[in-house]
Each structure stands twice: as C-alpha cells, then as structure tokens.
C-alpha cells in the first residue's frame, strides 16, 4: 500500500515529521517498506531565468547563457540545448550538484574557452523522463529561485507500507491516518462526505437475483448525466502516479482514487452502453464470457458473481468491470456501482480467473459495509466537482449487513495475558480512537467494533489492539520461570541416536549433506518409490516431483556434481527422512552415506584402493555401535535391494528385521547418476535399531567387569568350505563351540582359487580365555576338537590338513 505524505494529511491533522510518521507506522504494525522522497533527490534544482543566451564564439552548437538563479547572482553556463534562449525560465543545477538522470557530479569547467558553472537541465537529466530534446522550458510565471520539486508538486514523499491480511481497513489512506491518530500522531479529520441529494430518478436500477445470497448482500448506486469526462486535475494525477497508477480519465481516476483513499472500490459504467434498465447481481451458470477492463476475455465459472446487463456479463463482482460498458473520454452518462461482495467468493473467483486487481485485494480482505452509505456521496461529490453535470437519487438492492459486535475485555488481562501494565482508562482511550464505542460494565470494557474492523472477535483481539497502539516495546521482557533447578534431559533416545550417527559418520571422514526431500520420478522409481501417491501435484520443477524413497540417489547425484567440479572422491552422508507413503507414519529416519572413487587415493607411499562394500559396512557398524546396538548379534544376508551390486552387498538383520543395507552401489545405478568409477553406500533405518533393555530402577551402572588373571591363547584353524558359505558362519560356529572358553573368532584369511574347484579356504583365529586356571594341553585339545566339529557341522566344511 502506497500513499503520499500530503495525501495522509488530507485525513490526519498533524505536525509530526516524516520520520516520526514512518517510525510510528512500523511500531503499530503497518510495516514501513520504503520512503521515496523525490524532493531530497531534486533538492539542488531551482527555477532560474535565462537573462541572455548568445552563440558560443568557438562552437556552433553551444550557447553561452547568463543565468539568474534567484539568489541575486548571475552565473555563466554553457549549454548545448537547441531551445536555450534569452528570456526563458528553466531549471538550474549549480556546480557540485549530483545529476540523478546521468549520475554525474557537476564541476565548474571551461568549454571551448568559455567558463561554465552549472547546468540547465533536461527532463532526462532530472530523472523525470527520457526526454532529452531540450532543456526544461517553464512558463513565464514560474517563481524564480523556488525549488523545482516544490513547483512541480514532486516534494510529496511517497510512503509504502506492508498491510497484513487482517487489516483491510488499512488499504485506504484514511484507515492508516486513523491508526496514526490513535498512536498519538495527530487528529483524524472528519470524513469529507456531505450528503449529495439527487435531482431525478435513476433510469437504471440495481437488482439482486435471490440466488446471489450473501455473495452480494447489498448494492447501491446512482446515475449521472451531462458529465464531461476528460483528464483529472493535476493534484489527483500526481497522487495516482506517485503510487504507481496511470491516470486515465477523470471518471476512472475517481474510482481508483477512492479505492486507495478510503479503501472503497467503485465501478462506473458508461450508462449509454447499458442496454437494460436494470443491472442484476447474479451467480453465473458457468461458461459466460466477459471482456474485462484489462482487455482480456474471461470465462466465468458456476457460482461466480456477475453483474448482468440482460444476458451480458458486464462485470465480475468484486474483481473487475467489463470493457464494453467502461467509461471513455466520450462518456456523458454514468452509472455508479457501490457494492458489497463476499470475501471468500471474491478471493476464489480472482484466483480461478487469475486476476489480481486492487478491488479484489480489498474485497477479499473485507470491506467496511458502511461504505455503501458514504460511498455514493463521496463519488457524487467528486464526479460533480470534476466532471460537472447532475446526479440522480440512489438506487439500491439488498440489505446492508450489520457486522458490529460487542466484545468484552477485562483490563487485568492486559497484564496477565499482554504482560503490560496499562490502565483501563488508557485502554479505553486507545480503543475509542480506533473507532470502538466503549462502555465500562462490572469493571470490564465493553467495546462495540467499528464497521471497518472485521478482524475483531474476542477479548485477545482487543488486548492486541491496545498493546499494538500502546507499543510492544513498552512490554517488559521477563524470563520464563524454570520448572526445575537444573535443566532436564530433553532429547529422546531416537533423537540422540540421530545426533550420534551424524557425529560418528563425520568422525569417519564423511561430509554431511542436506538434500531435497524430493527427486526426479525416474530416480524415485529406480529406488523403489515414485508411486502416484508420492508425487507432488505442483512440483517446483519436473525433476523435483517425487518424494524420495531413499536418500542415496540425491547423494549420488551430489557426488556426480562434485566430480564434475574436480572433486572425484566425495564421501557424503545425510541423516534425514525417506518416505514410504503419505501417512504420518510413512516416514523413516534414515542415515545414508556414500563413498565414491578411491578409498585410498594416490599417495607417495602406497597403492590406491577403490572404495568397496567393506568401507560401507564399516560405516554402518560404527553407527550401530555408537547407537548401542548389539553389533555382535547382527546377521548378514545377501538380499540388499536392486540398487546395490547383487554380489557385493548385504543386509544387516536382527531376525526378520532389516536394520541396514550396505554394499557397492550397482554399477548401472552409479552410471545413471552420472558418476564414473565405483561407489559404495549404505542406508541405516534408525528407528529399527532396538532399544536397549532398561536397567532395573533406571540406573546407569554397568555389568561388573571380570578380567581373568590367566593368559588368553590363540589357535588358528583353516577350513575348506563351499565357496558360497559365508565367512561369518565359521566365526559363529567357533564361538558357539564353547561359549565359556571361546571369546573371539576372527577370520584372518580367505583363499579362493580355481584349483579349489568351487570351494574356498577360510582361516580363523580363535581366542580362548581361561577363567579359573591355565588350560592343560588336554583341555586345549578338547576345545579345539569341539571347535572343529562344530564348524564342520555348521558349514559342511572340513579342517584343512
């Protein structure tokens, strides 16, 4: 919402400075968005008199001018404009001025031997237009020495504020003035709306179809005849231009002016172009078309409110008028529309048709219903003043709704809810300045809302009004009371595990990424998602249209981008959501990571090693360990999903529950992401990590550590097993052979060769830890036998001789 300072002062009697006003606007919730003070920019420019303009002795196209500036001095200026002439009035800029149109700072100079101490300016140099045909040529009566900005009426600062959607009343200058008056910046002047009596009956009447109901509860208007439409007066044009509107003609300008001045959109029909004697507010059936004032044709949908002239749609209720019945320079008879429309209907209609108009903007935020009382008089006063002619009596249809309500406020709530000590009397004063009618009953302020405030509903709305005007800055800041002397734990185990996982993965050299929750559908489909349900109806772009079923594709494409930027060996992780379905429980917390390229890059000492499944497995195990998961109880299965390498990937499970996938990424998947070389990755389903068993009584004490005083000993065993037997099966079998004595069984060698004919050799180092006494040879012999027997039994293999 834009307005000028002088416009504001039409409604506000005030001595406040521009700075005081702009500061107050923000403090009362009408946020200042900008001030354009053209006068400040044009300050150096004054009206001058060219006493003499003679030909430059050394340049055909230049003139040497003796310029009276109004301060008594005469300055010599060399000027190239063809229209510079003796006896003219122009605009002078002294040396030292900044020329806004060219960005040049004027310096005294000598042009072809003649001194020049300033400039006679063109409109382009003033930043006013592109006109550079000559210097500004002012009328003879222009006052010598006066500020050019003042003379041209450009010294009216333009103020722009942001108006929140609840404050339709502040979309008119008068509403802003009222708020400022309540804040104490002056007095609101009375509304200039003397009753205008009509002298004849309007030949056109307003009517409402019953079906229109509350979509248009009331419409009124009047007829004008013998008007003369032409340009509106300079003051009106200046104000409209200052707020970015193009002056069109007096009649149209009046409707625009009242829209911004009083927040009351009006519409004027050229009465000669209205075919019927009655205009009707009616809901559309759908399919009707209208050529609107913006020159575009719109097709109405069922239920939209139309202004009907017989079978013709002559206007879109609350949104835009029709072009065919619009006023032109030739208009002599006018029919005025002052209507009330339903905000929701107007908003929906405007949105469906894609029309953003100043009328829609106001109607959808709610209008002062009383504006149908003064609206026709304000309009009549201005039309008669600017265009002459005479006006009819009013024609109306419907009933003006009464939107006033009575709201009660307990003054003590200003303190207990608003946090501020404000007396009941001060609160009442603020409310009455805002237009509420107040009384005090049983210690509570009873406030009847003004018609222009649709947003006031309850006690807290009044508290807000009082607080807003009183000043949020006057509310003392208080610390929240603490419920406990010391802070309490506030994170759930799941939340802490997310934090742990990030720290572990970053500690292992991976960089944490945060990537979009959406991705291209083709990628989502490749990773098991992309169902119709999980597609965005209105994606920001076609490649961000599917909710991600997995984080990996985003990390892979990020790695590819990094590779393109010369960073080929990215290690990235993200801990965040992956989406299964649209239900509240259809979202998993997943820790995913990838390592691409070389795990050990080229270095001076040793060989490079590309990333592999065990890099990913190590990341997974580290996260699970940090999360307190029973890492030694996990089983590995080889049924990871299709985006992993079928032979180089696995699932970590606890029974049927898959906790994580890990492995080399399928080379096909890697390629489609645009990466070259190898990638390994993992996905850990954080919510599936089992909760630790809670201790009795909730204590944190550990199981007592018992360290055996006896030396542990290690025995190596090598077994021949079928090549598809998983190595960890041997370890488990060895561990299971004697749960007391065997404390570790680590695979330390695997050999597969063609000569082994589909079998492989796996060597394990088994650690025995005696607890009560050193083991005898016989006991060692016995446990070794049990280990061999159990491994052979469990794996179908045999001890290598």
**Subset of residues 720 to 779 that bind other proteins, contact rule: CB under 8 A:** none
Given the complex with other proteins, which of 493 and 750 has the nearer CB atom? 493
Count of residues engaged in binding other proteins, rule: CB under 8 A: 100
Nearest CA among 602, 673, 681 for reference residue 641: 681
Would you count residue 354 as binding other proteins (CB under 8 A)?
no
**Can you count the helices (H) and strands (E) in the chain?**
20, 45
**Subset of residues 308 to 327 that bind other proteins, contact rule: CB under 8 A:** none
Least distance in angstroms from the C-beta of 623 to other proteins: 13
* Phi/psi of residue 720, nearest 5 degrees: -95, 120
Least distance in angstroms from the C-beta of 598 to other proteins: 8
Least distance in angstroms from the C-beta of 600 to other proteins: 6
Q: Which residues contact 491 (CB under 8 A, 6 or more apart)?
A: 499
Q: Which stretch binds other proteins (CB under 8 A): 9-17, 46-54, 315-323, 527-535?
A: 527-535
DSSP 396-465: EEE-------EEEE-TTHHHHTT-----HHHHHHHHHHTT-EEEEETTEEEEEPPTT-TT--SHHHHHHH
Choose which of 415, 633, 671, 793 interacts with other proteins (CB under 8 A): 415
Least distance in angstroms from the C-beta of 205 to other proteins: 32
371 touches 454 (CB < 8 A): no
**Subset of residues 6 to 45 that bind other proteins, contact rule: CB under 8 A:** 26-29, 31
Given the complex with other proteins, which of 228 and 415 has the nearer CB atom? 415
Given the complex with other proteins, which of 507 and 796 has the nearer CB atom? 507
**Subset of residues 420 to 439 that bind other proteins, contact rule: CB under 8 A:** 420
Least distance in angstroms from the C-beta of 565 to other proteins: 7
558 touches 519 (CB < 8 A): no
**Subset of residues 177 to 216 that bind other proteins, contact rule: CB under 8 A:** none
**Subset of residues 475 to 504 that bind other proteins, contact rule: CB under 8 A:** 475-484, 487-488, 490-492, 495, 499, 502-503
Q: How far apart are CA 462 and CA 683, in angstroms?
A: 54
Alpha-carbon distance values, 602 to 444, 608, 610, 619, 680 (Å):
81, 5, 10, 22, 18
**Subset of residues 441 to 470 that bind other proteins, contact rule: CB under 8 A:** 458, 460-461, 463-464, 467-468
Given the complex with other proteins, which of 106 and 463 has the nearer CB atom? 463
The site map against other proteins for 85-124 (x = CB under 8 A) is ----------------------------------------
Nearest CA among 270, 287, 278, 347 for reference residue 307: 278
**Subset of residues 552 to 611 that bind other proteins, contact rule: CB under 8 A:** 554-555, 558, 561-562, 565, 567, 570-572, 576-577, 579, 582-587, 600-601, 603-606
Q: How far apart are CA 101 and CA 93, in angstroms?
A: 13
Choose which of 64, 251, 513, 725 interacts with other proteins (CB under 8 A): 513
Given the complex with other proteins, which of 594 and 775 has the nearer CB atom? 594
Q: Which stretch binds other proteins (CB under 8 A): 75-83, 216-224, 367-375, 412-420?
A: 412-420
Cβ neighbour number for residue 486 with a 10 Å cutoff: 5
Given the complex with other proteins, which of 416 and 694 has the nearer CB atom? 416
Half-sphere exposure of 664 (CA within 13 A, CB side): 16
Least distance in angstroms from the C-beta of 415 to other proteins: 8
Choose which of 169, 215, 288, 364 interacts with other proteins (CB under 8 A): 364
Q: Torsion over CA of 353, 359, 360 and 362, rounded to 10 degrees? A: 170
**Subset of residues 46 to 85 that bind other proteins, contact rule: CB under 8 A:** none
Given the complex with other proteins, which of 393 and 561 has the nearer CB atom? 561
Half-sphere exposure of 396 (CA within 13 A, CB side): 13
Half-sphere exposure of 775 (CA within 13 A, CB side): 22
368 touches 263 (CB < 8 A): yes
């Amino acid at each position: 919402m834009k307005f000028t300072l002088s416009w504001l002062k039409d409604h506000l009697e005030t001595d406040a400075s521009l700075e005081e006003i702009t500061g107050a606007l923000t403090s009362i919730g009408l946020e200042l968005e900008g001030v354009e003070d053209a006068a400040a920019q044009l300050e150096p420019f004054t009206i001058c008199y060219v006493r003499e303009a003679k030909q430059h002795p050394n340049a055909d196209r230049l003139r040497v001018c003796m310029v009276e500036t109004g301060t008594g001095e005469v300055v010599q200026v060399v000027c190239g404009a063809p229209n510079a002439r003796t006896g003219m009035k122009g605009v002078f800029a002294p040396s030292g001025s900044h020329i806004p149109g060219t960005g040049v700072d004027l310096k005294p100079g000598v042009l072809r031997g003649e001194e020049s101490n300033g400039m006679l300016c063109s409109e382009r140099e003033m930043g006013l237009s592109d006109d550079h045909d000559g210097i500004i040529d002012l009328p003879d009566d222009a006052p010598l020495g006066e500020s050019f900005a003042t003379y041209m009426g450009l010294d009216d600062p333009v103020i722009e504020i942001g108006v929140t959607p609840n404050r339709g009343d502040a979309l008119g200058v008068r509403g802003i003035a009222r708020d400022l008056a309540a804040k104490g910046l002056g007095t609101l002047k009375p509304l200039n709306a003397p009753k205008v009596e009509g002298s004849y009956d309007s030949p056109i009447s307003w009517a409402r179809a019953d079906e229109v109901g509350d979509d248009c509860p009331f419409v009124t208007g009047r007829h004008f005849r013998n008007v003369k439409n032409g340009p509106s007066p300079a003051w009106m044009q200046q104000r409209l231009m200052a707020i970015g509107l193009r002056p069109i003609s007096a009649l149209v300008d009046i409707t625009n002016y009242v829209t911004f001045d009083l927040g009351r959109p009006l519409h004027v029909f050229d009465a000669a172009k209205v075919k019927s004697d009655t205009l009707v507010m009616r809901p559309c059936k759908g399919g009707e078309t209208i050529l609107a004032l913006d020159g575009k044709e719109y097709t109405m949908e069922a239920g939209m409110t139309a202004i009907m002239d017989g079978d013709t749609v002559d206007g879109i209720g609350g949104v835009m008028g029709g072009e065919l019945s619009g006023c032109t320079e030739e208009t002599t008879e006018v029919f005025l529309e002052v209507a009330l429309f339903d905000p929701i209907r107007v908003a929906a209609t405007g949105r469906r048709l894609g029309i953003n108009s100043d009328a829609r903007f106001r109607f959808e935020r709610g209008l002062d219903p009383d504006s149908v009382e003064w609206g026709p008089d304000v309009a009549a006063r201005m039309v008669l003043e600017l265009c002459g002619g005479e006006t009819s009596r009013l024609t109306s249809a419907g009933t003006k709704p009464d939107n006033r309500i009575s709201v009660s406020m307990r003054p003590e709530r200003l303190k207990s809810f608003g946090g501020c000590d404000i007396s009941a009397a001060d609160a009442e004063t603020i409310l009455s300045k805002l237009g509420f009618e107040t009384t005090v009953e049983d210690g509570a302020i009873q406030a009847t809302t003004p018609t222009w405030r649709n947003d006031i509903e309850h006690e807290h709305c009044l508290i807000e009004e009082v607080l807003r005007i009183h000043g949020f800055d006057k509310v003392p800041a208080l610390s929240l009371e603490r419920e406990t002397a010391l802070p309490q734990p506030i994170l759930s185990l799941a939340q802490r595990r997310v934090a742990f996982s990030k720290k572990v993965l970053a500690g292992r050299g991976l960089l944490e990424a945060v990537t979009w929750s959406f991705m291209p559908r083709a990628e989502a489909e490749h990773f098991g998602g992309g169902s119709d349900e999980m597609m965005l109806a209105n994606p920001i772009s076609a490649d961000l249209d599917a909710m991600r079923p997995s984080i990996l594709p985003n990390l892979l494409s990020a790695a590819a981008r990094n590779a393109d930027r010369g960073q080929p060996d990215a290690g990235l992780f993200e801990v965040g959501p992956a989406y299964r379905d649209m239900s509240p429980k259809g979202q998993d917390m997943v820790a995913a990571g990838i390592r691409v390229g070389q795990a050990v890059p080229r270095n001076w000492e040793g060989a490079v090693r590309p990333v592999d499944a065990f890099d990913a497995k190590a990341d997974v195990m580290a996260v699970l360990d940090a999360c307190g998961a029973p890492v030694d109880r996990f089983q590995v299965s080889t049924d990871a999903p299709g985006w992993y390498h079928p032979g180089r990937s696995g699932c970590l499970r606890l029974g049927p529950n898959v906790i994580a996938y890990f492995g080399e990424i399928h080379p096909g998947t890697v390629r489609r992401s645009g990466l070259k070389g190898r990638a390994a990755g993992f996905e850990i389903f954080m919510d599936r990590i089992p909760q630790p068993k809670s201790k009795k009584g909730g204590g944190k004490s550990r199981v007592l550590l018992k360290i055996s005083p006896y030396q542990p000993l290690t025995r190596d065993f090598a077994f021949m097993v079928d090549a598809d037997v998983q190595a960890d099966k041997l370890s488990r079998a060895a561990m299971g052979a004697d749960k007391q004595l065997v404390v570790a069984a680590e695979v330390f060698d695997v050999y597969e060769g063609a000569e082994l004919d589909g079998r492989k050799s796996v060597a394990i180092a088994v650690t025995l830890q005696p607890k009560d006494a050193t083991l005898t040879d016989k006991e060692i012999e016995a446990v070794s036998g049990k280990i061999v027997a159990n491994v052979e039994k469990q794996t179908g293999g045999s001890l290598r001789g």
